[in-house]
Amino acid sequence: MTAKAKQDQIAELIRQAVVIPVLTIERLSDAVPLAKALVAGGVRTLEVTLRTPVAIDAARAIMAEVPDAMVGIGTILNGDDLARAEALGVRFGISPGATPELLQAAASSRLPFAPGIATASELMQALAHGFEVVKFFPAEQAGGIKALRALAGPFPNVRVCPTGGIGETNAAAWLAEPNVLAVGGSWLCPASEIRAGNWAGITAMCAQSMKSLKAACR
């Protein structure tokens, strides 16, 4: 797959998602019911972060038991993380930032990938390695929508998935920006609701949010 084809593929996947929940799964037993609850609420594209020891097994279980979920791996920090994600067979990879080594490994990988950026210099490094689809992180803390609009001036072709400080109250404003494909966040699956096993509540929250946010994308 060419670099452009990989970028087009992840761009379309992110665009269709509208919202990508950032999943930090602490207990393997929560993985499948959580994924089923999200998919039932209309949220199919899931980012399983490499922040816990069970992350890889959780992603594997979701892929095996929730076929409607489109699973990606997040918090990819280095080439080893990238290799694990690619070997797992997930649909995409995302990083919170990017070193030159990670960008080079991702450019050589078959895995559709979106590196994290927060500044113009970081974005230029991503572009130099062929990445026009990026994660803007931490979005609110890095300057919010004003910063995103400033970056859009010299980089009009870049497509963005902002994550960090985005929730129910401001997601629609981010989605209204022309260079934003989707937003990422954890508000659709609060840790307290996961620990309580409130799957029906998570489904209801997702369904309500997706209904309102899809209207913001039109």
| Residues in a beta bridge with 94 | 114
Q: Does 36 qualify as catalytic in the annotation? A: no
* Averaged pLDDT for residues 210-216: 84
Catalytic residue of the set 36, 132, 135, 140: 135
Q: Quick one: which of 169, 166, 204 has its CA closest to 182?
A: 166
Catalytic residue among 47, 86, 132, 140: 47
Domains of the chain: 3-210 (3.20.20.70)
C-beta contacts of 127-130 below 8 A and 24+ residues apart: 127/155, 127/158, 128/103, 129/103, 129/104, 130/3, 130/4, 130/7
Q: Is the pLDDT of residue 199 over 70?
A: yes
pLDDT attached to residue 1: 79
**Strand 116-117 relative to strand 113-114, pairing:** unpaired
25: left (phi over 0), alpha (psi -120 to 50) or beta: beta
Residue 190 and residue 25 in contact, taking contact as beta carbons nearer than 8 Å = no
Q: What's the CA gap between 148 and 58, in Å, rounded?
A: 33
**168 noted as active-site residue:** no
Mean pLDDT across 85-107:
98
Amino acid at residue number 211: K
What pLDDT was estimated at residue 215?
Answer: 74
Kindly report, residue by residue over 34-81, the tens digit of the pLDDT. Answer: 999 999 999 999 999 999 999 999 999 999 999 999 999 999 999 999
Q: How far is CA 39 from CA 65, 80, 178, 180, 216, in A?
A: 12, 29, 26, 22, 20
What are the pLDDT digits (tens) for 100-155? 999 999 999 999 999 999 999 999 999 999 999 999 999 999 999 999 999 999 99
What is the dihedral sign for C-alpha 46, 47, 52, 58?
positive
